[in-house]
Amino acid sequence: ATPTAVMVSTGVGANNGVLIKGGDALERAQMVKYIVFDKTGTLTQGKATVTTAKVFSGMDRGEFLTLVASAEASSEHPLAKAILEYARHFHFFDEPSAIEDAQNHEKNPKFSGWLLDVSEFSAVPGRGVQCFINGKRVLVGNRRLLTENGVAISTNVESFVVELEESAKTGILVAYDIALIGVLGVADPLKREAAVVVEGLRKMGVRTVMVTGDNWRTAQAVAKEVGIQDVRAEVMPAGKAEVIHSFQKDGSVVAMVGDGINDSPALAAADVGMAIGAGTDIAIEAADYVLMRSNLEDVITAIDLSRKTFSRIR
């Protein structure tokens, strides 16, 4: 392709909301053999919603939700936002205010005081959050977080979590003073176009893979819905780039599509990194392409554009 053709194609991309950072990136996309998709916020809408909250201890439901929301109040994770919103709705269901009111409760006298005082908060990557409330340790996260901290998970609770996961939901376990007190189920629906795009890529001869920090059962349920066979689940934040490298070993050209801070090392490691426009700045910086409309159809647009620029016009 001539420099003019590259320039024209870059302009065509921009007009369609596909920002391409340079001619090399435009050229590499035509050769992509594998596309690795992040799950949350990339294949899914990234709008997690709590669908179930089950208290397993004698604790009052409102108390339970206040405790969990307080523990999650300092977390930036989409799951934390969903939990806060759910708890806020439970307590103030008729208040039209936004979730920020709950999170910045000091600033809004109406909501002041509903969240409990938290000390020693920390986010545990790939696991959840931990803190102290009323001098007792509170853990909110996946099985791994709880078992690593010596919390026993009864068969009763385990089968409830399995049931959530088999219906593509993420189970969030809550422990207070090293005892399991409840479980929340969070759903994050697929983007409307996700399955069609996966099928379209298959027809184009591109193999699709899903990578996620979420648990195996949920990951597999989501992958099945979207039509992806190759799943890598329970991947720690640092592990996504390793997944990319494993596909590159035989010289294959690998693309990564992601939106999160967690995805940025993988976006940088990929031959073609594509960031979701609605994603985090760090992901956008690490990528070669930015899909401004946050629509997965633009993954196909990008590959088509590259193929048209470099393969056909030789």
Q: Determine which one of 24, 38, 188, 259 is catalytic.
A: 38
DSSP 8-state symbol, 288: S
CB of 129 to ligand ADP, least distance (A): 5
Distance, C-alpha 181 to centroid of its chain = 26
**Cβ-Cβ contacts under 8 Å for 61 (sequence gap 6 or more):** 53, 55, 90
Place of tokens 């065509």: 12
Instruction: Tally Cβ neighbours within 10 Å of residue 107.
Output: 10
**Residue 230 annotated to the active site:** no
Binding at 170: pick from ligand ADP, Mg ion, none (beta carbon under 5-8 Å per type): ligand ADP
Binding at 259: pick from Mg ion, ligand ADP, none (beta carbon under 5-8 Å per type): Mg ion
Residue 260 contacts Mg ion per CB under 5 A = yes
Interacting span for Mg ion (CB under 5 A) from 28-36, 59-67, 187-195, 259-267: 259-267
Q: H helices of 104-215, where?
A: 143-148, 155-166, 194-203
Residue 138 contacts ligand ADP per CB under 6 A = no
Task: Let me know how long the chain is.
Answer: 314
Interacting span for Mg ion (CB under 5 A) from 18-26, 164-172, 220-228, 258-266: 258-266
Residue 266 contacts ligand ADP per CB under 6 A = no
CB of 110 to ligand ADP, least distance (A): 25
**Rounded to whole angstroms, how far apart are CA atoms 184 and 164?**
9
- Measured CA angle at 197 (ends 78, 230), to 5 deg: 75
Residues 7-46, mask of contacts with Mg ion (x by CB under 5 A): -------------------------------x-xx-----
Residue 128 contacts ligand ADP per CB under 6 A = yes
* 3-class state of residue 52 by DSSP: strand
Residue 213 contacts Mg ion per CB under 5 A = no
